[in-house]
Amino acid sequence: MISIPTHTLNDGTTLPALGLGTWPLGDDEAQAAVLSALEAGYRLIDTATNYRNETGVGRAVASGVVPREEIVVTTKLPGRHHGYEETLASFEESRARLGLEYVDLYLIHWPLPRVDRYVDSWKAMIKLREDGLVRSIGVSNFTAGHIERLEKETGVLPSVNQIELHPFLPQDELRAFHAGKGIVTESYSPLGRGTPLLEDPAVTRIAEAHGVTPGQVVLRWHTQLGAVPVPKSANPERQRANLDVFGFELGEDEMRAVAGRAHRRVGGDPEVHEEF
């Protein structure tokens, strides 16, 4: 089994350097995927209320294949539940579906600036952490401006911001902002979901040079940036390969070659995207 390095978060807890994404798996598929991932050595699992698979993820965690305390379970607050009381209630629903006493990492899924209630949700997240129901709190799809507002209004910074990050969207500025604030960057759609990234000649050439797969080159690129990718795979063989990126290193030229491409998003723009 592969052993994975960890990051220490600004609240003192640890986060594995790579995790498993579970969107868009249903409960049964998610249960099977998380089970095979745990067996392969994954210890960070990413779900969300809006993925509608927390029950399946929870079943795999409860299977006992890995001790509960070794697994970092992440879930996310949906847009329809922004607000202080709404967040507390939504969290309890997630916790019940997951069947867990505590959640390791709880994120605000999207900032929804038009709705403008993410600060109230953040205050509820702080309370959940104080009450011991959540180990670490963070955000997703937040800009530097949104995070500065949380800091100004509550004095509490997120431990993590999970953002779209892949070689078509390297997020240099936001990553530098995170580093300055002690926030760990998590990369979603790390393999550039739906883009031709893994067939790109620059990536396949580097893969051949190291005797690894294109997916491993891209995931290694993330870890060398200091970001924590959460690639989704329901295929046990690809899950194992995706995790096996800690035994080789990309040179500076190779890091530049992986990132050197025209920028494009595969997901929503945080300033306007609304996910309820």
Ligand X SMILES: NC(=O)c1ccc[n+]([C@@H]2O[C@H](COP(=O)([O-])OP(=O)(O)OC[C@H]3O[C@@H](n4cnc5c(N)ncnc54)[C@H](OP(=O)(O)O)[C@@H]3O)[C@@H](O)[C@H]2O)c1
Site for ligand X, rule CB under 6 A: 21-23, 46, 109, 140-141, 162, 188-193, 198, 213, 215, 230-235, 238, 241-242, 267
CB atoms within 10 A of CB 179: 12
Catalytic residue chosen out of the listed positions 42, 51, 118, 188? 51
* Least distance between ligand X and beta carbon 68 (Å): 20
Q: Cβ closer to ligand X: 46 or 104?
A: 46
Does the annotation mark 51 as catalytic?
Answer: yes
What is d(CA 271, CA 110) in angstroms, rounded to the nearest whole number? 9
* Least distance between ligand X and beta carbon 73 (Å): 12
* Least distance between ligand X and beta carbon 147 (Å): 15
Question: 121, 118, 139, 50: which is closest to 85 by C-alpha?
Answer: 121
What is d(CA 222, CA 191) in angstroms, rounded to the nearest whole number? 10
Q: Cβ closer to ligand X: 63 or 235?
A: 235
CA 5 remoteness from chain centre:
16
Q: Cβ closer to ligand X: 58 or 190?
A: 190
Task: Report the length, in residues, of the chain.
Answer: 276
Tokens linked to 49: 């209320």
* Least distance between ligand X and beta carbon 220 (Å): 12
Contacts (Cβ under 8 Å, ≥6 apart) of 28: 56
* Least distance between ligand X and beta carbon 19 (Å): 8
Q: What is the SS3 assignment for 191?
A: coil
Q: Cβ closer to ligand X: 56 or 231?
A: 231
Complete DSSP assignment for 212-250: S-HHHHHHHHHHHHT-EE--B---HHHHHHHH--SS---
Q: Are 158 and 143 in contact (CB under 8 A)?
A: no
What is d(CA 132, CA 269) in angstroms, rounded to the nearest whole number? 33
Q: Cβ closer to ligand X: 18 or 257?
A: 18
What is d(CA 116, CA 197) in angstroms, rounded to the nearest whole number? 35
- For ligand X, the nearest residue by Cβ is 21
Q: Which of the residues are catalytic?
A: 51
